[in-house]
Structure 1
Amino acid sequence: MLCKKFYIIFGTLLAFCNANTITTLADEAPLDADQNQEEQPCPVVCPALYAPTCGYDGVGYEQFVNPCMMQVANCARRKERASLHQPFAQTDNDWCSTKLVNNLYEIVSNFADNLNKEECLKPCPMIYDPVCISNGEYRVTIATACQLDIYNCALKGTKLESKLFKILSTRKCELN
């Protein structure tokens, strides 16, 4: 009986360790289905751990229970030669767990009385260089990274102070 428990624990830990080797971020490297993935064994057992993992396949984002489950999905895609989808690459969880909105001002103005605080205003370049930002609840495209500093400054001292925005990507936000 002790040996059986040992094998279950060892198998779970091994699967979890193998699952945590996925480190490719969707923003950092192009997805390539031929990266020696044919040689990688498919996970047989995934740990019963809740470690939300967001994957991006070049088309959309999908939330997985843990990295091992993402490996299982990628393995199934490799086995389906007819599948036109690329394998999932792990990316920031905010891509999967946030709501895409069109107008950040409408969301933020509900919590901040005055987004135009004098101490927060600063000149920003008039060059459209979109970035995707998120506060863990919402994600939105803004015109420049300079505007991010203005929004975060205005949110200090409000209900959203604990949820300041961060840059998710140096490109427009995409739909799920």
Structure 2
Amino acid sequence: MLQIILALSALAVANAANPCEDTFCPEIFMPICGTDGTTYANECFLNIAKCKSPSLAIAHQGACCSLKCQSFQSCEVTADGEQYCADQCINGVCEQDGKCGAAVCAPGEVCRLVQGECLRAPCPPRLTCVKDCDRLCTRDWNPVCGTNGITYSNACSLDIAHCKDPRISLAYSGECY
């Protein structure tokens, strides 16, 4: 088992030097949106696509959204793939007209218009402060296993998952069995 891990690690290091050759990407779903509007399973898969389209870059972390939202809104994608437009004001209260009210969110949180269960039916929206879990992690392969049974590429990736769902934490270092 150790020999396999070492071989895969060596392959990953070689691929980091030249990502356009036969690249092994970890099967970890940490969606990333490319500037081409395509959602890639993780940054490694985006880098492979970049070999064919050198101008391709990361648009943002998370899945791409195809909805056309107003300028004061962001397109959001739920865990089950539902898309909706959400008002977004940094460190403020999002009003329905897109204006930000008084700063009420704690540092590290953003205010978003949340529709909850009513994504597919009209309902009066609610406002809530949510944690801002968007951050960038290195591509280092130091796998850790989450309590949800998913192998994360490193502790930073697990921290993002924990930020989004506090029930997820470190089960142990290394890949999940």
* TM value normalised by structure 2: 0.39
Structure ranking higher on relative contact order (CA contacts 8 Å, 6+ apart): 1
Structure label with greater radius of gyration = 1
Task: Give 1 or 2: higher strand fraction.
Answer: 2
